[in-house]
Structure 1
């Protein structure tokens, strides 16, 4: 395996898991690199959707995936991307009421197939309740900013989503869309229940499921978790 994709709603621990997986892999002697979703040098998605036309955005993302796949095809590094399969691509297409999400996603998976990817899907049991908890944790400024942004999207206008309540509904709808896409994926999918305060359990489940032979033994995970604390 050369590629691990980590997905989930905001606040499910995507970045935390990506960083810890990368650190654990490096401790076990496996070359590894992880990419923050918002990184300016992100290898896949455009830095800003506003920099290109809305019509071109999915094509630009697919072109980014093609470049990335070609660049890393021959190396032995474990690449960990969080928020890149859904959050920075599919979510934006949903906001814009795009009807071609399924077509985009099929092409996305075809491009990545040679890298033998796996997807880790961090899914809270109740998306709307999780959204409310994430809003409370991240504070009023974050909540107002995200709610105001989503309120202006074509999806929100079409469905009458307004304010913080509309934001929670949007994230619940988005989670159901992700559920549907995960269901048809050919690549291995690791679905893990996302719960605040259970980062060690999530890491252990993720490592045990994707199981690269050089660093995934369960007993070593326990030792490394202690070392990382």
Structure 2
């Protein structure tokens, strides 16, 4: 197939995780060398998950305060364009109690997705460009779940309450970075956002919901609108979907919007197969 990158997007509870896995399975069944990266993958080749950003001075200060972990941090840090990028969640997972909670909390504040928005955009866009340069030479199709639109919109609109144009420009910047991979975007939608999200809430841990509500209502767009609780979170999600639709309209890559409201595994799989294997026109193309 022509595309080397398939992007799967949609709101929480829309079915994007299932969709991403189905796409990967379809590619493998058709003899395509494919690699799937789900949300939260600490080894994501384009995005950053659980990675902290430091200047050289900040990193040297961290080493001086890290005791026996200093050598580990120095061995594991990645230096790009004078930036020191530390995969702290991977290190914490590997070391357990040897990595103190106090030190973890301190480093968390330097997470790439806690950076000021303009710096976050710069760091993430550079990473996507580096990924694209490598992927262009490979005989492989990458499938990414939710980091292309979701992360820019979440940090831009939800976290910082940035103007719509800022989030649109952020996503288009990532799109420009990967354009030579001939990307295809599959957007999974639900007609009833409230119903699908409440269903997702019932399937996930309570701590996840508490963290989600806090993130969506205590800052940025939610705080500006005075929203709170589960109902307020759903209102933010509705606004987020409207922004994502605007983004889809402005992308130059092929976009397929699949309505997953009445989910049927076999029919959904068949729709995906036709889209990604090029057997029919892209459904819901918003070019």
TM-score (norm 1): 0.85
Find the partner of 1:98 among 162, 173, 178.
Answer: 162
Stretches of structure 2 that go unaligned for 5 or more consecutive residues are: 53-108, 281-287
Q: Does 1:180 align with 2:246?
A: yes
Q: Does 1:135 align with 2:135?
A: no
Find the partner of 1:108 among 169, 174, 179.
Answer: 174
Find the partner of 1:8 among 3, 7, 10.
Answer: 10
Moved over 4 A (4+): none
Tell me the SS of whatever aligns to 1:195: coil
Is the deviation greater in 124-133 or in 68-77?
A: 124-133
- The 5-angstrom pairing of residues 14-93 of structure 1 reads 14-48=16-50, 50=109, 51-52=111-112, 53-55=115-117, 56-93=119-156
Larger Rg: 2
Stretches of structure 1 that go unaligned for 5 or more consecutive residues are: 218-229
Inter-partner Cα distance in structure 2 for 1:185 and 1:103? 10
Deviations 1:165-220 (A, max 9, x none): 111111111111111111111111110012364233222212202225xxx69xxx
Inter-partner Cα distance in structure 1 for 2:121 and 2:269? 31
CA RMSD of aligned residues (A): 2.0
Find the partner of 1:152 among 215, 218, 223.
Answer: 218
Report deviation, 1:80: 0.3
Inter-partner Cα distance in structure 1 for 2:246 and 2:25? 31
Inter-partner Cα distance in structure 2 for 1:137 and 1:47? 23
TM-score (norm 2): 0.69
- Rate the CA distance shift 1:106–1:87 in 2: closer, same or farther, 3 A: closer
